[in-house]
Chain A
Amino acid sequence: KNEVEQSPQNLTAQEGEFITINCSYSVGISALHWLQQHPGGGIVSLFMLSSGKKKHGRLIATINIQEKHSSLHITASHPRDSAVYICAVGSNFGNEKLTFGTGTRLTIIP
């Protein structure tokens, strides 16, 4: 069973700050997903990673397969980035089940 840990659980920062959210998992994976959950509850996929690094706008996601660790970075943070960020991993046995972290609640203050 894969354990997915995220840190921090809560993060409050000033607008413009550089944000880092971390995710660690215990068992080898096929892919790692970073998701954003809006205050209304809807979930949006930000990244799907199996190695290396991906960038989309102000968001950057990295993964270190050997260390079983991923980070999500937000540059020049903005109040609209306030949301819960969730890490989810799929096992490397080719099955369909995703295991989710508990999420990091990010609040960006203007």
Chain B
Amino acid sequence: GDSVTQMEGPVTLSEEAFLTINCTYTATGYPSLFWYVQYPGEGLQLLLKATKADDKGSNKGFEATYRKETTSFHLEKGSVQVSDSAVYFCALSDQGQAGTALIFGKGTTLSVSS
């Protein structure tokens, strides 16, 4: 079945450092790919998405490119801030399958210190 694998955390960085969180997927169809972020005490918020190969999703300085050849969707940010401290989830959704739920990775905790 479909699955998502993302790097284990926690990831600890200093402010203004470069961030990469790796995500790879396995899917039989043509999935859409997502990154969600969860701040402490909150639900998940959609951070960015890509619906087809070579698409780049971006939001709030974060970027991720849908790479079909490597089945990857790595999250990057050039300069992290303390306010980026949160848990990040990679997810996929197979298009065209009514009622199919999102499949999530296990989440990666990011901690940014000043």
A binds B: no
